[in-house]
Structure 1
Amino acid sequence: MPQPYVSSRRLVANSLSAMLAAIEVYNKPRMEYRDEVTVLLVVNAWELALKAVLKKAGLRIFYKKRRGEAYRTLTAEDALKQALNHKLFPPAVDRKALAANVRVLIEYRNRATHLYAGDLAEIIYPFLQTSVLNYRDLMFDNFQKDLADSITWQLLPLGAKAPSGPVQFMKSNPSASTVAEVQEFIDDLRSMVDQAAADGADLQRMAAVYDVHLRSAKAVSSSDLVVSVAKEGGRVVVKKSDPNHSHPYTTNELLDRVNAKRKGRPLNSRDHQALCWKENLRDNTRMAWKHAKGVSYTWSGEAVSHMVGLDDAYFDRVRTEYSAELRRRRRSSTPSRVADPMEPVHLRGGCDRAGGRESRSRGHGPGVC
């Protein structure tokens, strides 16, 4: 039996149809089983897209045939692994973070399909939203297909309104078997986020909440997923995030992480100071935080991603502008000296006639009064 023919064009078309269906389902005003159906469709869209990318690169999308069995195409997990190993993702997208994002959705899909995933809408939303944007970049980079051409973007990817704040929840006492299943998923999810962070992945590309202008509002970290669910997996209560978790980096730690990830010359504190001046980063609460009684700022993962995305030419230009601004400030803070007619006259080698104090002239010993 020959290997089936697979059309890349059909893979791309069906993948786009699956993603559009997912967005349409999620944006329905009233929809039961919304998150589960959306994730099923999003994972299906990714699986088809990844197979199309592999086929375009001349790689196999079928497993080795076993005697007496039909050909089987790669699962979503294996297609993702192949694309990751061969570096087939867009250069501008952190491939480790993108892969971690898709793996989270695959894990949720598996649990929702075969058992029960609980009410995890607040948690799964940032992963879905980021996944749509990652998918858009992948499809445009590989096939010049822009998802935006088929969407009324006023709806936003996966919703006109994001769920409340950073996703951290109050503790309660789980007691039912369904709650144990939800807790197990949360533990796995936290492990995935921790692993991505340890690998130096851009967590903005793993999960983030975006405002209506599609500017990233906050990357999701492992600390945002400290969750204990209420009995029977009931809806959890949102709590304000701890800036010690959302903004964990000192300036030196920030620069270390940025230099480890960006291409170009190493950045130093002067680059950081100039950028803070140019873009008012210290006033941006998504980037910086300072305790009311503190003297120094701490920085978020978004600040890391922002600095990584800026090239050397921009930093050089900002440094030049900052140096010029400092020179201007020094000139304006040092007024020209104007002689005061009432000021005492100091005689060379002599004494202050008005005050009787000894004066020292340049290059000479003390004067004599």
Structure 2
Amino acid sequence: MKINKTYRSLLDKSINSMLSAIEIYNKPNFSYREETFAILAVNSWELLFKAILLKQNKYKLRSLYKLTYKKKQNGQDSKVKTPTLNRAGNPKTITINETIIRLEKDKYPINEILKKSIFSLIELRDNSIHFYNEKEISKEMQELGFACIKNYMNFIKRNHIEIDLSNYNFYLMPLAYIDSKIDANAILTEEVSNYMSFVKNQVASSSIDENYDIAISIDVNFKKSNSFDGFSMKFDKNGIPITMSEENIRNNFPLEYKDITTKARLRYVNFKMGKPFNTLMQSIKGDSKLHYRRMLNPNSTSKKPMGKSFYSTNIWQVLDSQFQKK
């Protein structure tokens, strides 16, 4: 299938801008980390939204231009709009805010929580000149970064954008450098404090959404133990293995079977419990990322030991592809 060259270029630049943001953020010693991430991440979102807007308008470049009324000879505005030109004589394109407005006018709504996440990054980008890049806000900035990357991937998947995410790995690394014992409130600059208040208000005024976040909380606990009874799993064959103790399993697999069926009846218009659903659940049980079976007696020698199944919240991604959401 042939894809418009400008549309393809905008998508490619979008993903490359996000990858550049992550690469810069992951450098072990980079003093302008958070601000640079915000600049590149916002640019990535802007390019992505402009690609969608271009497609919505049948690939007419005029849809991306900042337009003003052409002046008549008497100095009055005519009824004709023409592109505003920059100093080089090229048409100016619209801002990310205007792009979102035009998308929504074209009946392409953007999730409210997603917008607040992006606006938080825009605020950081626009105010970065006033920041001293104190490491005391690194954790909060990384929480915004985690949410940004998750939102970016979810948006592409849910809207079937022509970007193959399987070709890329998305990691934010510098968590290891953050000292959570530092009490930062007393030494933050006024500008940074104002910005943090802005983000907190954005979070406080938002409802819970399963697909998008403004910030993702980071809470790392280290536990000394000589036990080898941890539960190991991998999201990807090339991924970093994560080992969890039994007490942490329910945090990752919080759903029981009855929780799934109860919510599915409320979530889908065509949900029915029957052979297709049972077959789907059986396949889910074979996926260690979605299902965990806790044994009542781990030392049992029985061929069919007693146990209970628990499921990850990621199960909804599978069910969403099979049933119609309300």
- Band of TM-score, shorter chain: 0.5 to 0.7
Residue 144 of structure 2 corresponds to residue 127 of structure 1? yes
Secondary structure of the 1:42 match is helix
In 1, the alpha carbon distance for the partners of 2:200 and 2:265 equals 23
In 2, the alpha carbon distance for the partners of 1:192 and 1:262 equals 27
Residue 260 of structure 2 corresponds to residue 263 of structure 1? no
Compute the TM-score of the two structures, normalised by the length of structure 2.
Answer: 0.54
Counterpart of 1:65 (choices 65, 68, 86) is 68
Distance change (3 Å), C-alpha of 1:311 and 1:173: closer
Larger radius of gyration: 1
Distance change (3 Å), C-alpha of 1:312 and 1:208: closer
Deviations 1:136-169 (A, max 9, x none): 34446454222442x3x3xx4222x64699x998
Distance change (3 Å), C-alpha of 1:265 and 1:100: farther
Residue 103 of structure 2 corresponds to residue 103 of structure 1? no
Letter of the aligned partner of 1:144 in structure 2?
E
Letter of the aligned partner of 2:215 in structure 1?
A
Distance change (3 Å), C-alpha of 1:310 and 1:48: closer
Counterpart of 2:128 (choices 105, 108, 112) is 112
Q: What is the CA-CA distance between 1:67 and the residue it aligns to?
A: 4.5
* Structure 1: gaps (5+ residues): 1-5, 216-245, 247-253, 268-274, 284-301, 316-369
What percentage of aligned pairs have identical amino acids? Answer: 22
1:174 matched residue in structure 2: 186
In 1, the alpha carbon distance for the partners of 2:105 and 2:265 equals 21
Counterpart of 1:77 (choices 87, 93, 97) is 97
Q: What is the CA-CA distance between 1:104 and the residue it aligns to?
A: 1.6
1:157 matched residue in structure 2: 171
Secondary structure of the 2:146 match is helix
In 2, the alpha carbon distance for the partners of 1:111 and 1:15 equals 22
Superposed CA RMSD in Å reads: 5.0
1:26 matched residue in structure 2: 25
Letter of the aligned partner of 2:30 in structure 1?
M
In 2, the alpha carbon distance for the partners of 1:191 and 1:266 equals 37
Residue 194 of structure 2 corresponds to residue 184 of structure 1? yes
Q: What is the CA-CA distance between 1:7 and the residue it aligns to?
A: 2.4
In 1, the alpha carbon distance for the partners of 2:142 and 2:132 equals 17
Deviations 1:272-302 (A, max 9, x none): xxx9xx967999xxxxxxxxxxxxxxxxxx9
Q: What is the CA-CA distance between 1:193 and the residue it aligns to?
A: 1.1
The answer as to whether partners of 2:147 and 2:215 remain within 8 angstroms in 1 is: yes
The answer as to whether partners of 1:136 and 1:147 remain within 8 angstroms in 2 is: yes
* Structure 2: gaps (5+ residues): 72-83, 86-90, 219-232, 240-250, 252-258, 273-280, 286-290, 296-310
Higher relative contact order (CA 8 A, sep 6+): 2
Letter of the aligned partner of 2:268 in structure 1?
K
Secondary structure of the 1:29 match is coil
Secondary structure of the 1:157 match is coil
Higher strand share: 2
Residue 218 of structure 2 corresponds to residue 213 of structure 1? no
Distance change (3 Å), C-alpha of 1:158 and 1:173: closer
2:13 matched residue in structure 1: 14
Q: What is the CA-CA distance between 1:185 and the residue it aligns to?
A: 1.1
The answer as to whether partners of 1:50 and 1:79 remain within 8 angstroms in 2 is: yes
Q: What is the CA-CA distance between 1:126 and the residue it aligns to?
A: 2.5
1:318 matched residue in structure 2: none
The answer as to whether partners of 1:262 and 1:309 remain within 8 angstroms in 2 is: no
Deviations 1:74-97 (A, max 9, x none): 2112223444565647xxxx8333
Compute the TM-score of the two structures, normalised by the length of structure 1.
Answer: 0.49
Alignment of 1:334-345 (within 5 A): none
Q: What is the CA-CA distance between 1:262 and the residue it aligns to?
A: 3.0
The answer as to whether partners of 2:21 and 2:40 remain within 8 angstroms in 1 is: yes
Residue-pair matches, total: 239
